Amino acid sequence: AQSVTQPDARVTVSEGASLQLRCKYSYSGTPYLFWYVQYPRQGLQLLLKYYSGDPVVQGVNGFEAEFIKSNSSFHLRKASVHWSDSAVYFCAVSPTSSSFSKLVFGQGTSLSVVP
Amino acid sequence: ETAVFQTPNYHVTQVGNEVSFNCKQTLGHDTMYWYKQDSKKLLKIMFSYNNKQLIVNETVPRRFSPQSSDKAHLNLRIKSVEPEDSAVYLCASSYYRSQNTLYFGAGTRLSVL
């Protein structure tokens, strides 16, 4: 069974600084990988996804993530954060082989962007 | 803009009562889900329906029962709520062929006193 670990429950960065949110997954093959974001009092929204090909995938609002198979990681990055990026970020994984692709979420990382 | 609509936004009730939550999606999707998000933001899938047919039923207490009248609606009923049912219940939808790309509603926050 697949699993996802986000080691940082909370991250605080200054506005304009760069950001990396960590994600490690456990899966025997090459999974599908995702980052979702949850703004306050809202549901989750898809930021970006990786299926295959270029290991660096671009998402909305300047976010990108890099799939590193040797490290079983899919870290999320942004060059310069804005206060509106404050939210909870979820990494997720699903298998590529099952007929029903059950999405498994990590524990989430709460991002606070301070002035 | 929101295309997965959940009602109510909040619900406060007492132990032992029955509650129902509604979810409707206007995206034309054929698959809908209920997730439970606890106070630590952990997400767990509860149920999934494809074209009114139950396709995923995770290990949830029997007091939880999903109800689907058509592919655009998926409601959740909880008979005799318990304190541990306090959580945010998130409804989501997708196309069956793209089950990883979920569209979520804003959630229903349930508080059980």
Domains and CATH numbers, chain B: 4-112 (2.60.40.10)
Task: Please write down the HEC assignment for all residues of chain A.
Answer: CCEEECCCCEEEEECCCCEEECCEEECCCCCEEEEEEECCCCCEEEEEEECCCCCEEECHHHCEEEEEHHHCEEEEEECCCCHHHCEEEEEEEECCCCCCCCCEECCCEEEEEEC
Lowest mean pLDDT among B8-17, B19-28, B60-69, B73-82: B60-69
Residues A67-104: pLDDT tens digits? 999 999 999 999 999 999 999 999 999 876 555 557 88
* CATH for A3-114 (2.115.10.20, 3.90.280.10, 3.40.1080.10, 2.60.40.10): 2.60.40.10
Q: Which residues pair with B23 in a beta bridge?
A: B6
- State the Cα–Cα distance between residues A37 and A61, nearest whole angstrom: 11
Residue with more model confidence, B17 or B98: B17
Cβ within 8 Å, pair A94-B99: yes
- State the Cα–Cα distance between residues A46 and A76, nearest whole angstrom: 13
Cβ within 8 Å, pair B101-A32: no
The alpha-carbon radius of gyration of chain B (Å, integer) is 13
Comparing CA positions, the residue from B113, B71, B75, B77 lying closest to residue B91 is B75
> For residue B17, how many other CB atoms are within 10 A of its CB?
13
Please tell me if residue A98 touches chain B, with a CB cutoff of 8 Å: no
Query: Which residues in chain B have their CB less than 8 angstroms from residue A32's CB?
Result: 100
- Pairing of the two strands B87-94 and B31-37: antiparallel
Residues of B (25-54) whose Cβ lies below 8 Å from A: 40-43, 45, 48
Please tell me if residue B15 touches chain A, with a CB cutoff of 8 Å: no
> For residue A44, how many other CB atoms are within 10 A of its CB?
27
Residues B8-52: pLDDT tens digits? 999 999 999 999 999 999 999 999 999 999 998 899 889 888 887
The average pLDDT across A25-34 equals: 86
> For residue B111, how many other CB atoms are within 10 A of its CB?
14
